[in-house]
Structure 1
Amino acid sequence: MAQLNGDARHRQPNGSAAKHANGILEDRVRGSTQAGKHDASLATKSEAKQTSNTVNLLICVGGIYASFLTWGVLQERITTTNYAPLAGQKEIFKYPVVMNTVQSAFAATLGYIYVLISRKKSGDLPIYPSRQIVWPLLLVAGCSALSSPFGYASLQHVDYITFILAKSCKLLPVMFLHVTLYGKRYPFYKYAVVALVTSGVAIFTLHQSTGGKKKKGADGNSLYGLMLLGINLLFDGLTNTTQDDIYARFRPYTGQQMMCALNIMSTSITITYLLLSPYLAATGIGHYVGMDLGSSTGELADAMAFIQRHPAVGWDILGFAFCGAMGQVFIFRTLSIFGSLLLVTITVTRKIFTMIISVVWFGHALTGMQWLGVGLVFGGIGIEAELSKREKKAKEAGKKKM
């Protein structure tokens, strides 16, 4: 067979020109690949077949929704419940770094178990396969750890409407950083789809918030608050785009490997912070990022004392950590197969899907503008699905001609 192929090549009028033409064609096919399942890297035929599996996508989406719906309920219960035994007193658990540390420790453990199950032999799937991968992983872990504090701090200087509008537009910084930092190319319709989905989510969340109860946040917006919010979005975007770059540069590197590696690093970073927090409180650094460091004993000691007084919150934190870890299994599975842009689309639109479930289940009503937002989101997703299907058929036809 190899000889036949060689003879065929020699029969070309100009072998080098034919190879050059084939190279251009391959580059165009690769360059025009849409964001999503091919974001991570150039997939093999077996991987491409797997990524196109609708059932696989539904499992990932269902797993993310189920895990983080429960996770969100537990998070709200932990951070809003008054655990004080006496009327008139108020004791609310307000130690987010401790919660995140417990969750990342659970996720690192679950990720390692996932790696062990996936291994065919003992040397397979090393957590850190090379020294070169450590630095980009450390960048992701650092951005992920720093993102939330800047987001919480921004709420002290911007109103809640501005905050949720910015978070609804998370797709934009992800795409922007893909284009500017990593030179990724998208077809025009991909930009249009992102604009539709972002507009739909923004309209939906804005009108949901204006009709609901007053949320925690400042009464107005300040330049400093907008800067903090911008840093939060920048860190979110860097997290997702750098993860894609890691998958592209260090193939084969799986979602379970990255999940374990990043959570080990995140746990190390947050534990270091918790141990240093009493000293940070003394220097006043925590004031500038909006952290509650009023106690000289630090967040870890205060959180442990709170749990000793109210053991029920400890069980809620364990449940919160387990659900978050399970959600990460599906997140990293989605990220390694479909890419960050589709993952962010799933997480950004999760609120709309949960609201629709609430409408159907409890008989609630949506406003006209909220229905417009829902229509834009589903319209964008439908347009992408149809155009992706056409693009895939066109590429397969091109390969057959080759």
Structure 2
Amino acid sequence: MEALACSFHLLLALMVPAASTDAGIPALVHDSWTDFWLLRFFYNIAGYATIAIPGFLLIQYFKRRNYLETGSGICFPLVKSCVFGSELKSLHSEATSSSVQNEATDPSTTKQVLRLLFCAAGLQASYLTWGVLQERVMTRTYGATDSSPGEKFKDSQFLVFMNRILAFTVAGLYCALIKQPRHSAPMYKYSFASLSNILSSWCQYEALKYISFPTQVLAKASKVIPVMLMGKLVSRKTYEYWEYFTAALISAGVSMFLLSNSAGKHPSTVTTFSGLLILAGYIIFDSFTSNWQDSLFKYKMSSVQMMFGVNLFSCLFTLGSLLEQGALLESVRFMAQHPDFAVHAALLSVCSAFGQLFIFYTINRFGAAVFTIIMTLRQAFAILLSCLIYGHAITVVGGLGVAVVFLALFLRVYARSRMKRRSRKSLSEGAVQKV
């Protein structure tokens, strides 16, 4: 029994934040049950299930009743929109490509350059500020005095709710003020991307309790590796040699960074077992979100309509879960006691909402390659800012690993853009030959 108890304490020591280990085993066990990330994760899932399961059953009921043909009354338009949609599909890629093509033919080079600078500045300002605030909120205390160490804000789900409700409001106003394509997708289909999106966001906030911000940024930059593995195993996809080469470079750079920091045992860069699990969850949920959204774009919709639909369900899920757990009032109480936290949470939401608008605008105007370059630079600047503001120590080997990762990312963007230009050139030459 003693051996079992020791093993249990060791497991808790691996899966709770390092700060709680200072108080010894009894305090550790208490903290682990009151602030255990895996329990909070399942509590959140249970809260979402109380909304998702009745909704699923209701959708199945309307479909079995063939409500689209037999239904009537005041609720018919609402049920039709939520469950059936208009089933009008189009290729989103064609709309996007035509938008980029029209912009490319703009004769004003100066206007194009200024617009690109505007997009780059907006993305950098939004997401660099968001990254700095995210680390401040999740890793630092509020209300610290000479006699009190202060307290940390612990509920990542409340921050997700704050971000989503402002994004929902901004997208709704945008759709109301600017004419959008006729919406045709069944509304319930947004809920799948919404669930995975809020879970990935929760993992992103929660991971900062167990790992450093530079480690999180590098882990997000290395998402290409599991995506390639899943594509190879599940979809039997084939990849070019440069894709394997850059994936190997990313893996080597991340390994150099993690091993060098683990050897130094610096508190701000130690990666725990929980941190690795949460990051894995982030990568899985985020990958599903992007793939599901790609499938939704087969319907005729704009990116802002996508933003509105996904954030609508995100608000419903997170608000319902917070109310069921009693965490909403607790978070509001914390906000009232610490006005600086309220300011930080509000700025986080503003940066997240407007950052999404800049993402959609940049991709529509300049394409995915330019957007990827801007965001890759943002990740590098985010690591630099985090080290300067919060004092993360990175060794020479770790810094070299960071450089290798971003070099590999730029090589991927360059190689992909060359491949696309080559394919477009061959298509145009083939069209000329046919003429």
Residue 224 of structure 2: which of 171, 174, 177 is its match?
A: 171
What is the number of residues matched between the two proteins?
328
Matched, 1:69 2:117: no
CA deviation profile, 1:24-61 (whole Å, cap 9, x unmatched): xxxxxxxxxxxxxxx95345763351586886776545
Kindly provide the amino acid, as one letter, of the partner of residue 378 in structure 1: F
Deviation at 1:69, TM superposition (A): 0.4
Q: What residue is the counterpart of 1:260 in the other structure? A: 308
Change (3 A) 1:228 1:139: same
Residue 125 of structure 1: which of 181, 189, 192 is its match?
A: 181
Query: 1:330-341 alignment to 2 at 5 Å?
Result: 330-333=358-361
Residue 194 of structure 2: which of 141, 146, 151 is its match?
A: 141
For structure 1, which segment, 390-399 or 376-385, has the greater mean C-alpha deviation from structure 2 after superposition? 376-385
What secondary structure does 1:382 align onto? helix
Deviation at 1:201, TM superposition (A): 5.9
Change (3 A) 1:215 1:105: same
Change (3 A) 1:320 1:194: same
What secondary structure does 1:236 align onto? helix
| Structure 2 Cα separation of the partners of residues 186 and 338 of structure 1 | 27
Change (3 A) 1:305 1:208: farther
Deviation at 1:63, TM superposition (A): 2.9
| Structure 2 Cα separation of the partners of residues 341 and 179 of structure 1 | 23
| Structure 1 Cα separation of the partners of residues 360 and 238 of structure 2 | 22
| Structure 2 Cα separation of the partners of residues 51 and 194 of structure 1 | 31
What secondary structure does 1:41 align onto? helix
Matched, 1:318 2:318: no
What secondary structure does 2:128 align onto? helix
Q: What residue is the counterpart of 2:299 in the other structure? A: 250
| Structure 1 Cα separation of the partners of residues 172 and 243 of structure 2 | 37
Change (3 A) 1:60 1:323: same
Kindly provide the amino acid, as one letter, of the partner of residue 323 in structure 1: C
Kindly provide the amino acid, as one letter, of the partner of residue 124 in structure 2: Y
Query: 1:344-363 alignment to 2 at 5 Å?
Result: 347=375, 350-355=378-383
Change (3 A) 1:175 1:138: farther
| Structure 2 Cα separation of the partners of residues 185 and 52 of structure 1 | 32
| Structure 1 Cα separation of the partners of residues 217 and 142 of structure 2 | 28
Kindly provide the amino acid, as one letter, of the partner of residue 49 in structure 1: Q
Change (3 A) 1:199 1:349: farther
CA deviation profile, 1:328-382 (whole Å, cap 9, x unmatched): 112334566788898677656632244578999xxx9964444444433333333
Residue 137 of structure 2: which of 75, 78, 84 is its match?
A: 78
| Structure 2 Cα separation of the partners of residues 334 and 314 of structure 1 | 30
Matched, 1:386 2:418: yes
Change (3 A) 1:354 1:80: closer
Change (3 A) 1:268 1:358: closer
Matched, 1:112 2:183: no
Kindly provide the amino acid, as one letter, of the partner of residue 250 in structure 1: Y
What secondary structure does 2:196 align onto? helix
Kindly provide the amino acid, as one letter, of the partner of residue 346 in structure 2: L
Deviation at 1:232, TM superposition (A): 3.0
Kindly provide the amino acid, as one letter, of the partner of residue 123 in structure 2: I
Residues 240, 340 of structure 1: 8 Å contact kept? no
For structure 1, which segment, 207-216 or 258-267, has the greater mean C-alpha deviation from structure 2 after superposition? 207-216
TM-score normalized by the length of structure 2:
0.61
Change (3 A) 1:66 1:304: same
Matched, 1:329 2:389: no
Query: 1:299-318 alignment to 2 at 5 Å?
Result: 299-318=327-346
Deviation at 1:218, TM superposition (A): 6.0
Residues 204, 373 of structure 1: 8 Å contact kept? no
Change (3 A) 1:96 1:345: farther
Q: What residue is the counterpart of 2:282 in the other structure? A: 232
CA deviation profile, 1:140-167 (whole Å, cap 9, x unmatched): 0010112244566678899999866643
Deviation at 1:105, TM superposition (A): 0.9
Deviation at 1:245, TM superposition (A): 1.6
Deviation at 1:262, TM superposition (A): 0.9
Change (3 A) 1:174 1:330: farther
Query: 1:13-92 alignment to 2 at 5 Å?
Result: 41-43=93-95, 46-47=98-99, 49-50=101-102, 60-89=119-148, 90-92=150-152
Residues 211, 269 of structure 2: 8 Å contact kept? no
Deviation at 1:238, TM superposition (A): 0.3
Deviation at 1:217, TM superposition (A): 6.1
| Structure 1 Cα separation of the partners of residues 327 and 177 of structure 2 | 36
CA deviation profile, 1:219-272 (whole Å, cap 9, x unmatched): 5x48xx76654333211110011111211x213x11111111111111111001
| Structure 1 Cα separation of the partners of residues 155 and 171 of structure 2 | 25
Return the structure number with greater helix share.
Answer: 2
Residues 254, 401 of structure 2: 8 Å contact kept? no
Residue 188 of structure 1: which of 210, 228, 240 is its match?
A: 240
| Structure 2 Cα separation of the partners of residues 370 and 85 of structure 1 | 34
For structure 1, which segment, 375-384 or 390-399, has the greater mean C-alpha deviation from structure 2 after superposition? 375-384
| Structure 1 Cα separation of the partners of residues 256 and 134 of structure 2 | 23
Residues 213, 386 of structure 2: 8 Å contact kept? no
Change (3 A) 1:160 1:228: same
Change (3 A) 1:323 1:200: farther
Residues 253, 400 of structure 2: 8 Å contact kept? no
TM-score normalized by the length of structure 1:
0.65
Residue 273 of structure 1: which of 295, 310, 321 is its match?
A: 321
| Structure 2 Cα separation of the partners of residues 186 and 99 of structure 1 | 39
| Structure 1 Cα separation of the partners of residues 304 and 356 of structure 2 | 9
Q: What residue is the counterpart of 2:154 in the other structure? A: 94
Change (3 A) 1:196 1:66: farther
Q: Which runs of 5+ in 1 are unaligned?
A: 1-38, 278-297
